[in-house]
């Protein structure tokens, strides 16, 4: 994970523990992963709204960026520009792309590319439900493709 001084929101571990549930703290602050198929947003689909960081409420993904991947975690094909940061993750004996909230540094999940999904980007942002919350009142929409 990036140095915590790289992010605007700066809280101590005790402040994060007071703000987050134990599972949210484990995922967002300790780079945890929830078990496949157990998160509340895996099968959650809405016509409009925004998925926000559960730690700091930063908008991360619009509802129309979400797709059914069958992987067991919420999947998005893109993020709202400038809202996530990508880091190389070499844990577990492989190289992956970790994604974190660009405002608080909270661990969201990983990006996988080139899996052949019929999406504008052919990316899967595999995101933990514990790391996000859903705001149905936003009318932000996906504004384009990147390849």
**CATH (domain of 52):** 2.170.150.20
Q: Classify residue 15: in a domain, yes or no.
A: yes
Q: Classify residue 146: in a domain, yes or no.
A: no
Q: Classify residue 147: in a domain, yes or no.
A: no
Q: Which position among 56, 101, 104, 126 bears the catalytic label?
A: 126
Our count of domains for the chain comes to: 1
Residue 101 appears among annotated catalytic residues: no
pLDDT of residue 6: 80
Range in 20-34, 44-58, 63-77, 82-96 the model is least confident about: 82-96
Distance, CA of 93 to CA of 58 (rounded, Å) = 31
Query: How many residues are present in the chain?
Result: 147
Going edge to edge, which strands form the sheet with 59-62?
59-62, 50-53, 132-135
Decide which of 23 and 4 is more confident: 23
pLDDT of residue 93: 80
Q: Classify residue 109: in a domain, yes or no.
A: yes
Range of the domain at 89: 8-135
Q: Classify residue 53: in a domain, yes or no.
A: yes
pLDDT of residue 144: 63
Confidence of residue 2 (pLDDT cuts 50, 70, 90): very low
Q: Classify residue 3: in a domain, yes or no.
A: no
- Please state, rounded to an integer, the average pLDDT across all residues of the chain: 90
- The percent of residues above 90 in pLDDT, for the chain, comes to 77
Range in 9-18, 123-132, 134-143 the model is least confident about: 134-143
- Sequence-distant (6+) residues with CB within 8 A of 27 are 33, 34, 107, 128, 130, 131
Q: Which two tokens stand for residue 139?
A: 């009318």
Q: Classify residue 141: in a domain, yes or no.
A: no
**Can you give the pTM of this predicted structure?**
0.89
Q: How far is CA 72 from CA 2, 36, 67, 68, 124, in A?
A: 26, 4, 12, 9, 12
pLDDT of residue 90: 83
């Amino acid at each position: 994970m990036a140095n915590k001084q790289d992010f605007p929101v700066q809280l101590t571990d005790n402040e994060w523990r007071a703000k987050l549930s134990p599972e949210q703290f484990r995922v967002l602050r300790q780079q945890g992963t929830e078990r496949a198929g157990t998160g509340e947003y895996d099968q959650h689909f809405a016509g409009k709204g925004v998925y926000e960081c559960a730690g700091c409420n930063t908008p991360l993904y619009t509802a129309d960026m979400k797709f059914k991947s069958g992987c067991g975690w919420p999947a998005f094909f893109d993020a709202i520009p400038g809202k996530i940061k990508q880091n190389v993750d070499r844990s577990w004996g492989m190289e992956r792309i970790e994604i974190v909230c660009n405002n608080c540094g909270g661990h969201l999940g990983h990006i996988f590319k080139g899996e052949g999904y019929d999406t504008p980007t052919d990316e899967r942002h595999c995101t933990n439900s514990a790391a996000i919350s859903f705001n149905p009142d936003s009318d932000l929409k996906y504004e384009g493709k990147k390849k």
